[in-house]
Structures are given as structure tokens and as C-alpha cells.
Amino acid sequence: MALNHESTIREWQQALEQGTATSRELTLLFLKRIAQYDKQGVAVNAISEINPDALHIAEALDRERAEKGSRGPLHGIPVLIKDNISTGDQMHTTAGSLALAEAYASADSFVAARLREAGAVILGKTNLTEWANFISDHMTNGYSSRGGQVLNPYGPGLFDVGGSSSGSAAAIASGFAVVAVGTETSGSILHPSVRNSLVGIKPTVGLVSRRGIIPISTSQDTAGPMARTVEDAAILLGALVGVDERDPVTGKSAGLAHTDYRPFLDENGLKGARIGVIRSRYLHRCDEEEKSLYEAAIAQLKQAGATVIDSVTIPTENTDWGPHVLLHEFKSGVNAYLQTLPAAYPIRTLADVIAFNREHEEQALRFGQVLLERANATSGTLTEADYLNQRVFDLEMSREKGIDAVLQEHQLDCLLFPGSEGYGIAARAGYPSVAVPAGYTTDGKPFGIMFTGTAFAEPALIRLAYAYEQATRLRVPPVLGDGN
């Protein structure tokens, strides 16, 4: 089979090992495709910056492979990362904000360092919904004042691209790299993955270090893989995990993380699984075609050997969740991150960001900045009673009285949601989810399903998602103008 922009990590590694392809050639393939479709033609606008050293890195990795052998499955593989993940190189780290348009991070994030250690070629950074969609209460998904609007390659200007990891999703759907890293606070990996017919893994909070990622919430933030196949997503996840002495949350993952999730890829993994199907309030958000696709997915799970417990409900799913946690943690986290920038950079606090945006209102405030202003009105010390009470409430209602309660009541391996609905309760719990393609409406709009489990249930969720993917093989790539 001829290799192309749709080929998987395993396929490329076979070619690299056999000497029928080089990492340099692979990197050039993606650079050419980005040139063809990102800022011209369809103009997906998924890429915010290209790594000027990408080809040099690829050539060095080719030489290393020839002399010493491969480091592992990501050796020489081009990867894109979201533009809120710091790199200590010639690329900016901006969160899509004009206020940070000239900001260079002082060092690699833990995620970037892990990718380099694995031998990946960090090809560039992807556009995103500005400040990971925490600037305005009505911002269009995929828009940033620095990067402009990301388009969904399945329906440019027609279908929602999803957010906030919009560029990571659109780029991988468009074939601009093999895999990408997104970040999520509440839905920001899962939502755009569903919208762009991708596999997205939102890990348990603590599995992947948050160090060097422009934050929203200490409680909920995590990075995670976005890929065209479950296997590729599993490979990328294994490269990202690890205990980071400078991020206390990763201490929870000691003994629970796996540096290789491929052993959990079982095409018969649905046999004997117990899956709780969520309908209730979440299905009401789907149109009739999406509901039909959800029913077809449920039927396929049964056919593949799963025991489906239908119409289970999360006891706390109708909870009126408050906004206090994100509003308070955003100021604390952003102020701390900005202090890590080189001392000469003038933006040092959230208040500085707000002032910059006001001074450049026409360019920077197309959708306003009400969330920045509300966050800045908090103390930044996390001492307010409404924050502390909300944090305790969120944990109890999302975990013990929420997801864990329904999993235990029905002895379930996971919950199944239509699309990415339900990401909010899992986000508050810090629990993992895996989104996987589940077909298309008659007008070509992608649809997906989402498997959600308890803390550190990634192996089980990957097993179930892989078995479903292999049984259905529903994903088809978008057509970008010339049939490619």
C-alpha cells in the first residue's frame, strides 16, 4: 500500500525501518500539504506556526535511526501541538491571544519535552479558540484574535469546528500531521474530535503533566491525544504520561500510568463488557439523524458482544453547576504562568492582558472579554468561600454521587454518550473519556460517540473504543477541493 497523509504511525514506522521512507520525506509531505490547504485553497487555517527546525530535527532523527536504531513508535513522526503548550524554541506560545503574540516560553513544557524524548518531530503549533475558550461567553469555536478562524474540513464555513483544540482537530482531519496534542478543561479535546471525525482521548487529570501549559483550571486541565485512529491515539498517550516532580497532580498516576497503551488494543474487547447507555438530557441535544447514528452505534456494541444497560442516568446529571471554580483558578493559574515568561516580556498579569486588549479593542475584542474580567475580579488567592464550597461540591456531585455512583450501581465498565455530550461532568470529576467516529449525517457532518469511565480507566476505554472502531471502520477523510 502506498503511504500518504492518512497513513498510521505503525505504517510509517514499517517504511522507516525498511528504509523505503525517511522522516525528512515524511516531514516534507506534511509541509507541502499544509502549504496547499491551510492558508490557501480550502484555507482550513489550523496552523498558527511552523517549527523552523522541523526538517533539521527530522534529518537528525534519520541519522540517529541509521546509527543507533529507533527510540520507539514516535521516532521521526511529525506531531502538531496546540498553541497553549510551551516550547523552548523559536516558536511562540500564545493561547491565540494578541497580548501574547510575541511571547516565547522560557523552556519546554513537560509535554513538549516528552515528545522530543520519544523522537517525535514537533512540526508546529495549532490555532485554537482564544485562551482555550475562556475569554468570552459567546466566542465562535476556533476563533482567535492572533490566528483568525479555524474551519472544519468536512464543511468549511458550514459545520462547527468545535473547540477549543480546534486547530489540532482540523489539522489532523486534514492530514497536516500524523497526530496532534490538544488540551482540555471541559470538552476541548472531545468536542472538536467528534466534530472532525477523530479519536480524542481526554486523560484522567494527573496522567499528563500540566507544567508549561497556559492554564484555565488547576482542577480540570489536561493535555491529550487527537488522532485518526485509536491505535495512533494510544501510542501518543503513552509518550505523554509520566510523573513530573514539578507538577504535584502527576503523583496520583504513579503505578497507574502506562508508557505503552498498545497492549490494550483488543479487537474483541467489547465481548463481555458492560456499557451504560446515557440518553436522558444529553440525547435531546442531538438532531434526528444524530439520534439514529447513536442507535446504530448501540446496536453495533451489542453485536460485538457488549452487554448494554440502556437508559441509565447519572444521579446528579441535572445539577446546577456553578462557575466559581474556573473563574477563580484561571486568575491564579494565568498569573503564575505569565511570571515564567522572560523578564523583558511586558505582559505579567491577567490585568495586563485585559488592559492590552482594551488598548487594541478592534483587533483583540471581537467577542469581548467578559470571562477575563470576571476572573480578574477574584482575589487570585483561592480563599473565597464560594470557590472552596463549589470545589468540594463539584467533586462530590461528579464523582461519588455522579459517575462512580452509576458505574457501581449497574457494575459498568463505562458510560456511553452521544457525541461529546456529558464531557462537563467528567471534566469536573477529572475522569477520562475517549471519543471515536460513529458516522456522518446525510449532509456529511461527522458524528461520534464517547466512552467515559472512572479515574485511570484509560486501558478499558481504549480497549472498548478500539474494538468499536475495528468493528465499524466508519471514519472517512474529508475531501479538500481536489479529491485528496
Q: Which of 25, 82, 75, 78 is nearest to 54 (CA)?
A: 78
196: in domain: yes
The residue range of the domain holding 153 is: 9-263
**Catalytic hit among 7, 23, 48, 82:** 82
8 Å CB contact between 445 and 206:
no
Q: Helices 110-118 and 230-240 meet at what angle, rounded to 10?
A: 110
Whole-number pLDDT of residue 281: 85
Strand pairing of 143-144 and 148-149?
A: antiparallel
CA-to-CA distance for 142 and 410, rounded, in angstroms?
Answer: 38
8 Å CB contact between 393 and 183:
no
Q: Is the C-alpha dihedral spanning 226, 228, 230, 235 positive or negative?
A: negative
Cα separation values, 221 from 86, 307, 319, 330, 390, Å = 15, 32, 21, 11, 17
**Catalytic hit among 109, 164, 165, 174:** 164
Coil, strand, or helix at residue 152? coil
Taking CA 241 as the corner, what is the angle to CA 236 and CA 243, rounded to the nearest 5 degrees?
Answer: 165
Whole-number pLDDT of residue 484: 67
* Beta strands per DSSP E along 160-221: 179-184, 199-202
Q: Which amino acid is at 229?
A: T
Q: Which of 252, 299, 253 is nearest to 277 (CA)?
A: 299
453: in domain: no
**Catalytic hit among 188, 209, 253, 433:** 188
CA-to-CA distance for 153 and 156, rounded, in angstroms?
Answer: 5
Active site includes 188?
yes
337: in domain: no
List Cβ neighbours of 276 (8 Å cut-off, separation of 6 or more). 309, 312, 406, 407, 410, 412, 414, 415, 416
8 Å CB contact between 447 and 409:
no
8 Å CB contact between 21 and 12:
yes
Cα separation values, 209 from 87, 218, 246, 258, Å = 14, 11, 9, 14
What's the N-to-C CA distance of the chain in angstroms? 16
Active site includes 82?
yes
CA-to-CA distance for 199 and 233, rounded, in angstroms?
Answer: 7
Residue-level pLDDT, tens digit, the chain, 484 residues: 589 999 999 999 999 999 999 999 999 999 999 999 999 999 999 999 999 999 999 999 999 999 999 999 999 999 999 999 999 999 999 999 999 999 999 999 999 999 999 999 999 999 999 999 999 999 999 999 999 999 999 999 999 999 999 999 999 999 999 999 999 999 999 999 999 999 999 999 999 999 999 999 999 999 999 999 999 999 999 999 999 999 999 999 999 999 999 999 999 999 999 999 999 889 988 999 999 999 999 999 999 999 999 999 999 999 989 889 999 999 999 999 999 999 999 999 999 999 999 999 999 999 999 999 999 999 999 999 999 999 999 999 999 999 999 999 999 999 999 999 999 999 999 999 999 999 999 999 999 999 999 999 999 999 999 999 999 999 999 999 765 6
CATH for 92 = 3.90.1300.10
**DSSP code at position 251:** G
226: in domain: yes
Our measurement of the distance from residue 305's CA atom to the centroid of its chain's CA atoms, rounded to an integer in Å, reads 29
8 Å CB contact between 109 and 160:
no
Whole-number pLDDT of residue 1: 55
Taking CA 126 as the corner, what is the angle to CA 123 and CA 131, rounded to the nearest 5 degrees?
Answer: 145
CA-to-CA distance for 66 and 377, rounded, in angstroms?
Answer: 57
Whole-number pLDDT of residue 200: 98
Cα separation values, 320 from 219, 317, 323, Å = 18, 9, 10
As for how many domains the chain has, the answer is 1
Strand pairing of 121-126 and 148-149?
A: unpaired
16: in domain: yes
Whole-structure pTM value: 0.98
Assess whether the previous peptide bond of 311 is cis (omega < 30° from 0). Answer: no
18: in domain: yes
CA-to-CA distance for 299 and 135, rounded, in angstroms?
Answer: 41
CA-to-CA distance for 55 and 484, rounded, in angstroms?
Answer: 24
Whole-number pLDDT of residue 130: 98
Cell of 210: 500540566
180: in domain: yes
470: in domain: no
